[in-house]
Structure formats: C-alpha cells, structure tokens
Chains A and B, each alone.
Chain A
C-alpha cells in the first residue's frame, strides 16, 4: 500500500522533471518516452483516488505538515468529490496532450517535456491545495511553464500572446493575494494566530462590505482564468499562438482552475458576496454564451473559432455554478470535464490539420471528408459532443446546468430573472449548432477546392491513440454519467448546505466574527433559505 498518495502525485512530476533535466538533450527518444512514462505512472496512481469513499462530506487523504510555522503556513493537501474528477482530468489529459505534441514539436524537446511536467505539478497542486498560501504558490507556478510553452514553441506572434497571457493572469493573481492577506489578518485579529488553512479561514465571517471587495478581488482573478466576458480577450490570442499541446492543456485544465477557485475558495469564504454578486456573474456567463457563439461563428481561423466556443461553454459553467443547487453545481463540474474532453479533442483535431497544411484558415479547406474520412468522423463526433447532442457528454452537462438555472430560486422556476437567463442560455444550444456546423461545412463538405488537400494523409496511429480515449469518454459520460456524478453528489450537497449556513450566519453582521457551524438546524438550509433572503433583499 502506498500512503501519502497526494504527495506522491505531486512528487512524481517534480522528480520526473528533475530527471528530464539530467538526460542529455540529444537523447530525444529517451526524453519523449520517459516523460510520457512518468505521466502514465502518475495517471495510474491518480486512479487510486477513485476508490476513496466520498459518500460523506469532508476532505480525504488529507496531509498536513507545517511549513512556515510563525505565519501559519502549512503544506496541506486533500481531495473531495469536487476536486476528484478535476485531478483525474488533469492526469488523463496531460499525457494525451504531450503525446500529441510529439508530432509537431521538433526543437528543444527536453525543455518542452520539462515544462509539461512542471505544468502538471502546478495544476495538480492547485487542485489539491487546502492552504491558501500553498494554493497561491501552485497557482503562480502553473503560469511560468505555460508562459514558456506559448512563448517558445508558439506561432508567429507568440511573444505578444505569452506576455498578454502572463500579465492578464498575473494581474488577477495579485488582487487575489491582497485579498488572501486581508482575511489572514482579519483572522489573526480575532483569534490571535496566523493561519492560511482554508478550513480554519472559512469559519471567519466578515461583514458585507469587505466581503464584496474581497470576493471581487478573487472573482477578477478567477474570472480572467475562466475566462468570463469581458476578461476573455487573452484567450483567443493565447490559443492561436500556443502549440497544439499547450492549447489542449490550456482549454482542458487551466480554464477549469478559474471555476474551481470559485467553488473551493471564493464562494465558501464570502457567501454573502457570492449570493449577491453571483447572479450577476451568472448573467455575464449567459452573455458570454451568446457573445462567444456569435464571435465564433464569424471566425475564419479554426483555432480561434474553437477558442471562442470555449468562452461560450465556460459561460454555461458559470451559470450552473451560481444557480447554487445540486444539478447546477454538479452540472458545472461535469461540464468542466466535458469541456476538457471535447474542447481538448477539438484542439487536437485542429493540430492534426495544422501539422499537415500549416494553415488553420477555413478558406483553405473544404471537401476533406473525401480525403480524410476518419478525421472527418472524429471531428463530427466531437462536434456533436460540443453542441450537446443527447447521448454525448455535452448534453448531460448542459441539461443539468439549464435545469439548475431553471430551478435556481423557485419551485416552477418562473417569475424570476433566472427564467430569462435559462431561456437565453438555451438559445446558446442553437447557436452552438450554427457555428460548429459552419466549421464542419467549411472544412469537410463540398468538393476539394485546393490541390494541396487532395493527398493529405488520414489520422496516423499516434493521433488516433490520442483521440480514442477522448471519444470513449464522450460516450461514457454521455450514456452513464452516474459513474461520475455519484462520486461528486455528497460533496456538492455538503458544499451547498455549508454555503447556506455560512450565508445565514454572516448576513447582517457588522464586524468580523467566527462562525458556529453547528448552530443552525440543517433542516433550514438549502436553496429555499437562499431564495428567501434574496427576495427580502430586493
């Protein structure tokens, strides 16, 4: 038996990256095989998390070691039903992205593998950290390898895109750091001791006004990462310039950290502010759904189209999250996985055609179904998943999110602005079909109009192996989502009821105090309570 599973999960990519540094860069084959091998071991190890029992609320596999004792900083990690699937998504997608990269990355193989391993470490760390300082460290650690991946192995304007990506994200992070320091100080004032421990800090209840400010600081950091309209403009640039593997990881995992940040940190820490500002963020999400779809429709660069479709999809996730009921939050988490799978696969597919033609312009293609039938089949399947066809993963996620929004504040779900938001979000389903089928039409149907396209080879073995797991996941989640949902439901329920309790207790207080989480009858919680207070507040 292995103990300290989570620490091993963090240690393996770290050790792997150090070993990669030690291998001479001329031994490219060894580096390639070794880095993939490390990631596969990592993936197999992470599967252990699935067999942990998540049926009661709380963190599992928690490890805590003091780090900077005088400041209350500790190395504290743990998983629950909310982060479980995100960890598995990360460990599953990273090897796929790296494997797919070996087709197109020809220079600085060693540095590329090193960056990827470091990136995996950062992402996993951010998903399992339960100490705000530790989280911040991993959150920033992630930024550096991604910056390098875009800036070194990217396209023509890679430096501009990389700097933009870095500055945007870094700006948000700094605001978050200030907010973290504020709550730590407030906690110190009340209890006389420093701590960055998330579980302790969530007992701190702040009055409404500081909550708004601090939540906004967190929200900016996370909204940039999501990305939420109007903070999304770094995304198309970053995606277009990043190499295929970078795009896959960026879309599949990095964006999820924004939403995860809301769930894990911003919402539990600032319940009143989340409850008041949340619907606005959901509204921006809905706006993003439609805005992203419109923008995607008129793109001529396929990769940009997929990037804007991400803006649209992430809008759905925001809507579900702030609906604050079981299907909304579960749907949001499931949709994060779905988006990781589908959009990750779409970026892989874009990479496939880019490797062959060194172009991603829709005008350069047409009639590819004739030349590359398997490629076309894979593309259409992923398209259907992306537009949420029932039977694929996208449908389950979107259905749960729409159901969450519809039933967010009332029994019939009517008579509130949530009904309007549900209607608008549901039109996103129509527009998704419009822009994705537009891309399919321009890429695959019609006659082959460019001579260069007539002899393009179909998917090769490496590309097929990278895609098959994703296609399997598309149908697995689509047909039997309970496998995934059952693990997260208890945690989601606990998340919502904790949120309601904290919300009730911290509403209307005038100075910081510590929560007494057992003081409130659990019967009185749930979205009913939230709805009640929202109505009163109006």
Chain B
C-alpha cells in the first residue's frame, strides 16, 4: 500500500478547500458582503464533503476488490527528516491516507461540520466578527482533516496542534470577555501538556520502529518488535517499550479528549459560540484521542498495562463527569460534562480492546451530541440567552420550539441508550467489551479491570439517562419560567420564537442521524434471541482497526444488554418521577446540602489543581523572576564590579610611600617563592606514544626522577633527569583485570573487576540480544592463569548452538561476540620519586588501565592460549 498506489489528489483538495476558505475570509472577509462570507465558509466545507464522499466511494470500490489493502494515498512532499543513531534516515512525509478508519472520520468531520457551518450562518448572523468566525471555523476544518488524513505521527500532529489553536481562538472568540479568553488559554495549555506526551511517545516509537508512518508502527507492533527488554530511565528495564510509548501517547489523548487528569478545560470551553461547542468540543476534535488510539490499535493492544490504564481512566472520567452533570444548572455545562463522560465511555471501550466499538460510539455520539448542542443553541437563540442558559429559568418550550424539542428528545433517547436508537447500539457494544474481558482473561489484573469498567460504566449510564432527561424535562416540559419577565431582569426573553430554517435543517439531519446512524453497527448476535445480524461496521473497520474478538456466549451478551437496558430504564424513570413538569431542583432537596454543593462545584478539582500544581509553579516562577535580577545578576555583575572597586581602593592604599612597608612585602615575597621551591612537585601521567606506553612526570627546575613502574617497592634504576619512562609490564605486574562489556544496541556499558572466582555478568541489564536457553545461571567470567575466561552457562547467541561453552578473551583486545563488545583490560600501578636541588623527595603513584591495543610484553601466552577469537 505504499509507493505503488496512484496519487489521490482529492485527498489534498479535501483539506485545501477549507484552508482556502479560511485564508480568503481571514484576509478579505471584512471587505466582503456577509452573504459571500457565509457562502465561502459553508461552500468550501460542502465541496470538501462532496470530495470526501467521492473518495469514500472509491475506497468502497477498492475494498470490494481487495479487503485488506484498500487505502487511498496522496504523497505531497517530504517535509524534513531525522537520522537515527544506526544511520537510518527517517523521512517525514507530508502524506495523506484514507483507509476505512480515516474514511469514516473524514465523512463525520466534513458531514457534521458542514451542517454546523450551515447552522452558524443563522446563529451568528447578528455577530460583528462574522468573517473572523468563519475563517476560524474553516481553519479548524482544515486542521481536523489534516489530523484525520495524516498518514504519519508528525503530520497528524500538525492537525492535532492546529485544532488546538482553533479551539483556543474560538473559545476566546468573544475576546472582550476576559474570562472567555482565559478559558481559551486554559484549553490551549492543557492541550499542550498532552502534546508533550505525544511528542515523546513519537520519538520512542520512531526509535524502535525507524518510521513515523502509522502503518509501519502497527506492523512492527504485530511482529513483536516492541517486546525485547528495554532499559528506560527512570523505569528500569521494561518488558515492552510499547507500554511506555502508549502511556505517553495516552497523556496526549487525555489532553485532547478531555480525560482525567486534563479534562478541566472542556467545561470552560463552552465559553465559545454554541456551533463551536457542537463541532469542536463534542463531535470532532475531542474525539481525536480515541481516533489516535484506534489508529495505533495494534500497538496499544500489545500492552496490557497501558490498556488497563486507559480503561480505568476512561471509566473514572465517565463516572466523575456524570456525577457533576447531575447537579449543573446550565444547558451547555450539562452537555459539556456529558461529553466528557461519553468520551470516558469511548476510552473504556478502547481500554478493554474494543477499538471498533469505541470508534462506533465516536460516530453515533457525533450525531446526537452535535444535535443536542445545536438544540441548546436553538433554545438560547430563541430566548436570547447569552453564553449559557439556566434550565431553571426555562421550561415548557415544547410548544414554542417544536422542531428543536423533537430533535432534542430524539437525541436524549439516543444518548440514554433507548433500544433501536444509535446510542443503544454503541453503548451496548462497550458494555459487551467490558463483560467479555471479565470472562476472557485469566489474568487477575485484567479481570479486575473488566469488573471495574463494567460496574463503573453501568453506573455512569444510569446517570447519563438521568441527567439528560432532567435537562429535557426542565427545558421543554412544565411552564415557561421566564414568561413574566420584562426582559431587563434576570430572566430571558418572555416570548421565545423558533429558529430560522438554516438552523432547523441541521437539527433535523442530525436528529435523523441520532436514530439511524446506529444501524450501521448492529450487534453481531442479538441478545436473548441469539440470531446473527450482519454488522457492517465491524467488517468495515477490520481492515484498519484491530481488537479483541466478540464473544459467542449468550450469557455474556445477555448480561451486557441487560445492564444497558436496566441503566437506561432506571435513569429515565427517576428523571421522569423527579423532574417531569417540575420547576425546582428536587434532587437538591433530597441529598445533603454540602455534598450537593460539592458536586455543583465540580468536586472543586480546579481549585485542587490551583493549589497543588499551578500555585506552586507560579510561586517558583515569581521567585525566579525576582531573584534573576537581584541574586543572579548580583553574583555575576555587581559582585565583580564591587570587588574590582574595593581591590583598587585597597591597592591604592598600599602605595603609601613608606619604605618599611615595601621592604616587608619584599621579604614576604622572597620567602614565599623559596617555600614554593622547597619541596618538589610530583605528578604522574600515563600516555601512549607510537604504540609504546610512556609514563610522564611533571617537569621542574633541577628535578631528578626514580621509577618504580609496577609499584612493587623496588626502583628499576637510579636517579636520572629523564622525566619520561617507558616500562614494559609483565603478567606479574597486573594489579587487577577489568572486563568492559558494551552493547552497541543501546549504548549501555558496564565493567566488572575480575578475580580468580567466577563473577556473574548481569547481562540482562545490557540488552545484549543473547538469550538463555538451558539454565537460569548467569553468564560468568574469571581470571585463570592470566587468561580471561567467559562461561556462557547455556546462553544462546542468536540461535547458534555451536558456540563454545568457555570463551577465552585476549587482554587489551576488543572481542566482539555477536553484537556484544568485550574488552578485558589490565590495571597496573606506577610510582615515581622526584628529588629537587634541595634534596627533598616527593612521591606520586598512579593506577592505570592499560589502553586498548596495548599488549604487555611476554604476554604471548595470552594469545597462544586463546582459540577461536580473531585478533
């Protein structure tokens, strides 16, 4: 599926149209008529959607021919490249790829995006920054499409950060409100924390695989390239480096897709205009994390630890966000927490290995959540609410806003998981995944994670149904609670009106999607009845997304469906009892007030982060800012200048003209110089000159030297003025033998002092690539009669069985045994005595490791005794 595929220019055009729209509207929008601005904005996305559909059709046709290799590719140009330490050059290509996964995502993005653009024409019609809005929105579409269509991590990362930028700009779209702008900044910074993880994860992957392309990474994961033991600071040796890489990537996902611990930006992001909330913060951008996990599903699935972390994080997020949503009063806030919670569902699905199910929920969620947000926008438009709408000031809107009401209701049914709506199918699959994990795995951790996920998600599903219908009932049933207001008070417009057609059409389309989108992914086996259904979704996704197989056991299927149905019924039922036609928050009266307040304050997580993370960092920054110009500057600027000034003052005082003082200084000087020469300075260095070893002593006036090259207490000669000595060392002079072992694969190296006893070489830490087959004894080495022996104890060197059991190494020579370099080196000690003209003597000794290639004389026996090792 690489170079041979023909170039698909359409893929590039899909991205370029919205990009062009963004540039035109951004640069010239203020001079163009509004209708043209809107036309460019909506039109560019529509063209992009049509192109996406044609590409998808082409992909579909390809798929019919060859089910596994189907993909469309457009190679644009080479961006830049990295060079790995092994010399391999890794190009980073601007290349786009549409396969079954990115194809579906492209359709969601352009389709839902197009509808939301259309909606914005009506919704933003009164706004001053109309061209700016469409420019940002188009830029977002282009970035999101780069994210989806990018065929390698760096290209995806361009879109990944690009959507972050657009999110920042659009959250702070009404920048005159400082809080909104701050919310934008919070989103950007939280995303950046995640991006840091993606960046590091990317490097780890390319280090192992040697390519940035998703396809190559996945292929490497399937072939087990991530399995060898890797030394990773600071984790020690990890059994699979995929775990580390996946966890770093997942950090990125928690940022982009608003999971614990980085979810806090998403609720604040509702400061942006409602279409933005619908498009970016519900339907598309925030699902990018799930998309990334699916994209790299063969990699993620190799790491049980990473998968468990993802499942638990997803479940916890689903629960936490659902509890918060139960107590909120504002429409968009509730929907925002609902989005966080639903994203948690998606990650839980990914974590239990049901990638296709997680992505199916992305698909269905895009319809009903976009519809809900646009519905909320329609309500706010109707009652002239700004920013957000308090549901306790609404009510009874089903009469005035019939279209909005019906589409909203349908979407509520879908998100709650009422049978035969889209949410039912997707949520059911996720619970099935959790149940299947409990029964599939023998591993206790995995079973525990399965139970935790199943119970957590069921509870979250109950709450989902409950808070969504609380929202629905309080908004659309009962009496309109702002009817008596004059408009100037705290309430809303007393006479709500239905929205224009440009807003209603998207609602209807999305509402239809909320029901029917689910039929693409009907369950493999129907619960209770047990008959098989064709699941188009599962088959389609198989080509690019891996995952655990679906269970065939009816027990598992029935448990999952039963829980899903029960959760839905309990949730909707209790909301019906508590809130239908009511105007008060009944729940608030039934739970302890302080608990309710805590939940209403979002568990005060923001405050917690402020206290334990942001606060301390800010304090350090303040400290740095203050000390830099005082302490650091003082140390480097003011202290020297002070010293120079004071020294000058002191010295000028010495020049006082008193002869006695001068004389005293003279005497002190002479005495000091004499003292310095009284004892000789002894210093010894070893060096290799022209293949012979030289000992070099420090020079001095009138010095004489006496040498004891092996430090045995007997000097080899008398005093001489020669400060360079070239001794020859014999075996008896060797103090110690050190074995240096180095693995070129990781660059790690160790050395061991050898004795007559066997010393274990803990080569496991070195990632030598050697494998033990017969015993668990370590590889050992010792000195024996001046030879270095290495006993492999059954270690198998790359499958060769004819390796001798004992290998003898040559002193001072590097011996490569397969890829491992071993150098035994002798240590000797040399001593020199130095005498000066006063007859005083000083001594210096130095321990030296004889250098590479330096062979002590008379060591021919070292060589003779060594077999099978080349010199």
A positions within 8 Å CB-CB of B:
164, 168, 230-231, 233-234, 236, 291, 294-295, 297-299, 325-327, 366-367, 369-370, 384, 389-391, 395-396, 399-400, 402-403, 406-407, 409-417, 419-420, 422-423, 426-427, 429-430, 433-434, 437-438, 441, 444-447, 479-482, 485, 508-511, 526-528, 531-532, 535-536, 538
Contacts and interface: CB of A to CB of B under 8 A. Distances in A.
Contacts of A445: 172, 175-176, 178, 181
A510 B694 contact: yes
B77 A480 contact: yes
Contact of B85 (A233, A400, A527): A527
A230 B635 contact: yes
B42 to A, nearest CB: 23
Contacts of A422: 200, 203
Contact of B625 (A299, A369, A410): A299
Interface stretch (B184-192, B358-366, B439-447): B184-192
Nearest to A231: B636
B851 A508 contact: yes
B672 interface: no
B155 to A, nearest CB: 9
A398 to B, nearest CB: 9
A233 B175 contact: no
B78 interface: yes
Nearest to B745: A411
B84 A411 contact: yes
B629 interface: yes
B87 interface: yes
A295 B233 contact: no
Which of A412, A417, A427, A446 lies at the interface centre, i.e. has the most chain B CB atoms within 10 A of its CB?
A: A412
B691 interface: no
Nearest to A388: B161
Interface stretch (B44-52, B56-64, B293-301, B746-754): B746-754
B765 to A, nearest CB: 10
11 contacts: A230-B636, A294-B624, A295-B625, A297-B621, A298-B621, A407-B207, A414-B232, A430-B192, A434-B189, A445-B176, A482-B78
Nearest to B849: A536
Closest 6 CB pairs of A and B: A510-B687, A445-B181, A298-B625, A410-B747, A446-B178, A415-B231
Interface in B665-721: 685-689, 694, 696
Contact of B637 (A164, A327, A396, A410): A164
A370 B129 CA distance: 10
Given A231-B636, A445-B175, A326 B204 contact: no
Nearest to A387: B192
Contacts of A429: 192, 195-196, 199
B158 A412 contact: no
B381 interface: no
Given A433-B188, A481-B79, 18 more contacts: A233-B632, A294-B620, A295-B624, A298-B624, A390-B158, A390-B161, A391-B162, A412-B204, A416-B233, A420-B234, A430-B192, A441-B181, A447-B178, A482-B77, A510-B689, A510-B696, A526-B85, A538-B749
B85 A482 contact: no
B182 interface: yes
Given A299-B625, A410-B746, A527-B85, A430 B196 contact: yes
Nearest to A224: B636
Interface string B288-310: 00000000000000000000000
Contacts of B206: 403
Interface string B770-790: 000000000000000000000
A164 B189 CA distance: 36
Given A433-B188, A531-B85, A535-B742, A367 B176 contact: yes
B392 interface: no
Contacts of B688: 508
Contacts of B686: 510
B653 interface: no
A183 B357 CA distance: 70
A480 B93 CA distance: 11
B533 interface: no
B814 to A, nearest CB: 10
Interface string B718-744: 000000000000000000000010101
A536 B742 CA distance: 9
Contacts of B200: 406, 422-423, 426
B466 interface: no
Contacts of A444: 175
B83 interface: yes
Contact of A536 (B86, B87, B625, B740): B740
A451 B489 CA distance: 30
A399 B158 CA distance: 12
B748 A441 contact: no
A464 to B, nearest CB: 13
